[in-house]
Amino acid sequence: RFDVLVVGGGPAGATAAIYAARKGIRTGVAAERFGGQVLDTMAIENFISVPYTEGPKLAAALEQHVREYEVEILNLQKAVKLVPGADIVEVEFANGASLRSKTVILATGARWRQMNVPGEDTYRNKGVAYCPHCDGPLFKGKRVAVIGGGNSGVEAAIDLAGIVAHVTLIEFDSALRADDVLQRKLKSLSNVTILTSAKTTEVLGDGQKVSGLTYENRNTGESVKVELEGIFVQIGLLPNTEWLKGAVELSPRGEIVVDAHGQTSVPGVFAAGDCTTVPYKQIVIALGEGAKASLSAFDHLIRSSAP
């Protein structure tokens, strides 16, 4: 039985575990894949105080730091059910095992929705990107496309237009879905082309990196090629919270609703990072949120009557 059981081993979960262990309480981390999204990242240039690192290196450092403490790490464990109780919360895993803890910190992160077109996998991190805050500066002076005309796509296009030479925004539907104020801003920019009723069909590359894309004009059926160096896919970030439906309050987007302390709708259950309603999904934010949720869990423990 743990005092703090963290579910998820990305930046948020690793930080939560370290902060809990440093209080001298029984801490466990169960993760499907220790390291989280960081494992899928190449260059990281906004992990402040470290001007440049790479995902696998940062993931290894996160794990090494956790291993400096008395934390029970259960890797390759997929949580499938959360069962809240009066003083104890139970987490069930896909392998049939279950763990009990006085407090639980949910840090299961999120995943970017993919286009699922040929070339996307091949050129991920080689021109195909998902995070403009992270990778925008890598495309300074180059040509990029943004896939998706919702708020995040249009925000990304506006952001990137200030850095890159040219942005082509590609929306599947016949109209953009972003807020009017964003659409007006986008349309005022001279280096942005907006394409609607356009279905991205392939990511093209030279074997090393992206060289363009093709899309289908959905009105005419014509296939069109665009030459460019980068593609930002902005068609949704899906929180890994399917398994929590009905157990904790989720937002309409499936994010775990947390307050300023990382407290969820269930007493003793906290959450941090990309799986929550906290805005802006970034490594440094996930780290900070993990620390906060862990301190809140500790606070809960010292106030609760359970021995």
Asked if 11 is part of the footprint of ligand FAD (rule: CB under 6 A), the reply reads: yes
Size of the site for ligand FAD (CB under 6 A): 39
| Beta carbons within 10 angstroms of residue 155's beta carbon | 18
Distance between CA 77 and CA 302 in Å, rounded?
Answer: 29
| CB neighbour list of residue 132: distance below 8 Å, 6 or more residues apart | 146, 155, 156, 159, 160, 232, 234
Which segments of 116-244 does DSSP mark as H helices, in order?
132-135, 151-161, 180-187
Residues 189-228 that bind ligand FAD (CB under 6 A): none
Q: Which of 2, 3, 4, 10 binds ligand FAD (CB under 6 A)?
A: 10
Q: Which of 3, 4, 9, 230 binds ligand FAD (CB under 6 A)?
A: 9
Q: Is residue 145 helix, strand or coil?
A: strand
Amino acid in the structure at residue 164 = V
Asked if 8 is part of the footprint of ligand FAD (rule: CB under 6 A), the reply reads: yes
106: tokens are: 């949910």
Question: Can you give the length of the chain in residues?
Answer: 307
Strand partners, 143: 166
Asked if 3 is part of the footprint of ligand FAD (rule: CB under 6 A), the reply reads: no
The nearer residue to ligand FAD, 37 or 200, going by C-beta atoms, is: 37
Distance between CA 277 and CA 271 in Å, rounded?
Answer: 10
The nearer residue to ligand FAD, 44 or 192, going by C-beta atoms, is: 44
Residues 70-129 that bind ligand FAD (CB under 6 A): 77-79, 107-110, 112
Residues 254-273 that bind ligand FAD (CB under 6 A): 273
Asked if 31 is part of the footprint of ligand FAD (rule: CB under 6 A), the reply reads: yes
Q: Residue 254 in contact with residue 267, Cβ under 8 Å?
A: no
| CB neighbour list of residue 43: distance below 8 Å, 6 or more residues apart | 52, 54, 135, 138
Q: How far is the CB of 290 from ligand FAD (least distance, A)?
A: 7
Q: Which of the ranges 153-161, 165-173, 261-269, 276-284 carries the binding residues for ligand FAD, by CB under 6 A?
A: 276-284
Q: How far is the CB of 89 from ligand FAD (least distance, A)?
A: 14
Asked if 32 is part of the footprint of ligand FAD (rule: CB under 6 A), the reply reads: yes
| Beta carbons within 10 angstroms of residue 288's beta carbon | 17
Q: How far is the CB of 179 from ligand FAD (least distance, A)?
A: 23
**Closest-CB residue for ligand FAD?**
109
Which segments of 5-82 does DSSP mark as H helices, in order?
11-21, 55-67
Distance between CA 27 and CA 147 in Å, rounded?
Answer: 41
Asked if 233 is part of the footprint of ligand FAD (rule: CB under 6 A), the reply reads: no
Q: How far is the CB of 143 from ligand FAD (least distance, A)?
A: 20
Q: Which of 23, 40, 92, 100 binds ligand FAD (CB under 6 A)?
A: 40
Asked if 239 is part of the footprint of ligand FAD (rule: CB under 6 A), the reply reads: no
104: tokens are: 């639980």
| CB neighbour list of residue 40: distance below 8 Å, 6 or more residues apart | 55, 124, 125
The nearer residue to ligand FAD, 29 or 228, going by C-beta atoms, is: 29
Q: How far is the CB of 22 from ligand FAD (least distance, A)?
A: 18
Q: Please report where in the chains the tokens 């964003």 appear, as a residue.
A: 182
Q: Which of 27, 37, 183, 296 binds ligand FAD (CB under 6 A)?
A: 37
Q: Which residues bind ligand FAD (CB under 6 A)?
A: 7-13, 30-34, 36-38, 40-41, 44, 46, 77-79, 107-110, 112, 130-131, 134, 240, 243, 273-274, 281-284, 286
